[in-house]
With several copies, the nearest count.
Chain A
Amino acid sequence: MGGKFEARKVTAISKINPVTSWIRFDGDIYAQPGQFVMVWLPKIGEKPFSIAELNPLGLLVVDVGPFSHALQALQVGDSLWVKGPLGQGFSITGERLLLVGGGYGSAPLLALAKKARAQNITVDVCLGARSEAGLLLSDAFLELGCQVSYATEDGSLGWHGLVTDIVEQKIQAIAYDLLCACGPTGLLSALSNICKTHRLDNQLSWEAHMRCGMGLCGSCLVSQNIDELLPVGWLACYDGPVFYQKFRD
């Protein structure tokens, strides 16, 4: 685990929807899917991003504010600085995976799906968003041979409602070995409850406000108030972002 920044050059950048870009860098990163990097743009700032592709390093960036905007403005040949890989990622167990993504949560799940598919594991994916435009990377999951289901709050694609609804349906229909998810806290809390009910092993990647990214400043604490299953003083940047919950042995 590296605590130093290293310069990386942009080798490709493409818009995958009006507010979302896929950025590819020179060189690989030796990481687990689910680990993240801190990205530094000198004079602009530093933010955490999930590793969406390992060989070569690729990131998925949704333009929601000043930093993500500056990232999308990068040109091929520009440098940015990466610290990482940081944290603990996903660890594949079993034969049948269910991946659940909300928003840019698709990013780490894509790296995970790629690794699982390379091991010939069956991977089903449920993506949720407000509307169709927010469903990210679905083509990429399909290309890997995953079965992909959608839920949109406005019904513009797939199930009209929350992604947790289709997750419930799938879990009842299919005997998954493991559920892996990344998305907003509300989604993860709901999934945690669903998995508890069904005693389904799960690995949830929690969001938190990150500052040091190195397990020292305490900023990224995910409190037991948010999920009582978490151990006391759980740090998303060091112990996580992925938390493993096992019900079966």
Chain B
Amino acid sequence: MKHDPDISVKLGRLSLKNPLVLASGVMGTSPELLHRVALSGAGAVTAKSCGPTLRTGHPNPVMVAWEHGLLNAIGLTNPGVDDEVKLLMDAKQRLNPLNVPLIASIFAGSAEEFGEVASIVAEAEPDLVEVNISCPNVHDDFGLPFAADAKSAAAVTRAVKQKIGGIPIAVKLAPNVPDIGRIAKSVVDAGSDVITAINTMPGMVIDVDAAQPVLHNRSGGLSGPALKPIAVRCVAEIAQFVDVPIIGTGGVLTGRDAAEMMMAGATAVGVGSALWYRGPDAIKLIKAELQDFLRENGYKSVCEIFRKAL
């Protein structure tokens, strides 16, 4: 019998048992849910993004599955960073024995405020802090301006880096920019240790019988299958601009999808919408399929497929 291929990866300083990382905002709203996903075999788990203060998010409907993907406008529901610290500390205690790193995620309305949220979240000592500069569901004050522009993205990165006390950070980029590679370069130059790519793509689904957008927020963020080629292209472009590890995220539903993302240059693979398409145990299934793929193609280690299609 052949040996199982080695699927452990190094994400900068972090060691992951496998490359599959729970994406932010999906089931990451409580220690119990993070614990559950870790038990299902995740290499690492990301908590829901938290901001300076509590947000209840948008009114319902907040999510719809259309034919080729999901569309959501949850609206960054979160308890505020002070309560998030407690949540993360509880989660850490649950994850430590499982040897599953915990990734926190933060957002804010200005570079300065990003720094403040970072300094508070650092108290929980997460293994990595994702900096969400790219959520399309919150307008003007949050999100878009930072991910859209290389300079403001870098300013946020520096502000977080200064206050995070040595915890590595991953800036999370948006797909609706003309030059994601250049933006990646700019945040890496400003100190980002890892890049997460991508967040959802802005979209709208109108129900023609109702003659209304389905989401209360009208537009939302597109994720799932339709996003995959967009994400793969972004990852491939970023991988040509920077040398830091990339968490490739967007539309990964199967082990072959994960392999595609890694061949495009991702070191780890974010998994979000798959938890709807394949259930809360999606990561377990994807992990087994990735191993099957590697075995069938004679790869001894997942590192062999890294950047293979570039």
Direct contact of A and B (CB under 8 A): yes
Alpha-carbon separation in the docked complex, A3 to B33 (Å): 21
Q: Which residue of B lies closest to A48 (CB)?
A: B60
* Contact yes or no, B29 A46, CB < 8 A: no
A238 in contact (CB, < 8 A): yes
By a CB distance below 8 angstroms, the chain A residues around B210 are 7, 42, 79, 81
Q: Which residue of A lies closest to B207 (CB)?
A: A5
* Contact yes or no, A215 B280, CB < 8 A: yes
* Contact yes or no, B279 A217, CB < 8 A: no
* Contact yes or no, B216 A45, CB < 8 A: yes
* Contact yes or no, A221 B30, CB < 8 A: yes
| Secondary structure type dominating chain B contacts | loop
A236 to chain B, nearest CB (A): 12
B247 to chain A, nearest CB (A): 18
Which residues of B are at the interface with A, using a C-beta cutoff of 8 A? 25-30, 32-37, 39, 48, 57, 59-67, 70, 72, 74, 77, 207, 209-212, 214, 216, 272-273, 275-276, 279-280
A196 in contact (CB, < 8 A): no
Alpha-carbon separation in the docked complex, A217 to B66 (Å): 17
Contact of A81 among B27, B59, B207 (CB under 8 A): B207
* Contact yes or no, A217 B74, CB < 8 A: yes
Alpha-carbon separation in the docked complex, A216 to B26 (Å): 5
Q: A81-B210, A216-B275, A221-B29 are in contact. Are A235 and B59 (CB under 8 A)?
A: no
9 smallest A-B Cβ distances: which pairs? A3-B65, A233-B36, A218-B29, A46-B60, A212-B63, A42-B212, A46-B61, A42-B210, A233-B32
Contact of A45 among B60, B70, B72, B207 (CB under 8 A): B60
| Secondary structure type dominating chain A contacts | loop
A211 in contact (CB, < 8 A): yes
* Contact yes or no, B65 A40, CB < 8 A: no
A43 in contact (CB, < 8 A): yes
Most buried by B among A38, A42, A47: A42
Contact of B77 among A40, A42, A217 (CB under 8 A): A217
Q: How many residues of A contact B (CB 8 A)?
A: 34
A1-29 vs B, CB cutoff 8 Å, 1 = contact: the mask equals 01111010000000000000000000000
Alpha-carbon separation in the docked complex, A43 to B218 (Å): 10
Alpha-carbon separation in the docked complex, A40 to B63 (Å): 11
Question: Would you list which residues of chain A between 54 and 78 have a CB under 8 Å from chain B?
Answer: none
Which residues of A are at the interface with B, using a C-beta cutoff of 8 A? 2-5, 7, 38, 40, 42-43, 45-47, 79, 81, 83, 211-219, 221, 223-224, 231-235, 238-239
By a CB distance below 8 angstroms, the chain B residues around A213 are 63
Q: A3-B70, A215-B276, A216-B27 are in contact. Are A83 and B64 (CB under 8 A)?
A: yes
Contact of B279 among A2, A212, A238 (CB under 8 A): A238
* Contact yes or no, B27 A40, CB < 8 A: no
18 of the cross-chain contacts (CB-CB < 8 Å) are A5-B61, A5-B64, A5-B207, A38-B61, A45-B60, A46-B60, A47-B60, A211-B60, A211-B74, A211-B77, A216-B25, A216-B272, A216-B276, A218-B29, A221-B29, A223-B30, A232-B39, A233-B280
By a CB distance below 8 angstroms, the chain A residues around B280 are 215, 233, 235, 238-239
Alpha-carbon separation in the docked complex, A213 to B62 (Å): 9
Q: A211-B74, A218-B28 are in contact. List 9 more A-B contacts (CB 8 A).
A: A3-B276, A45-B59, A211-B77, A217-B77, A221-B32, A233-B32, A235-B280, A238-B280, A239-B280
Alpha-carbon separation in the docked complex, A46 to B97 (Å): 40
Q: Which residue of A lies closest to B223 (CB)?
A: A216
* Contact yes or no, B27 A218, CB < 8 A: yes
B214 to chain A, nearest CB (A): 6
Q: A47-B60, A211-B63 are in contact. Are A7 and B32 (CB under 8 A)?
A: no
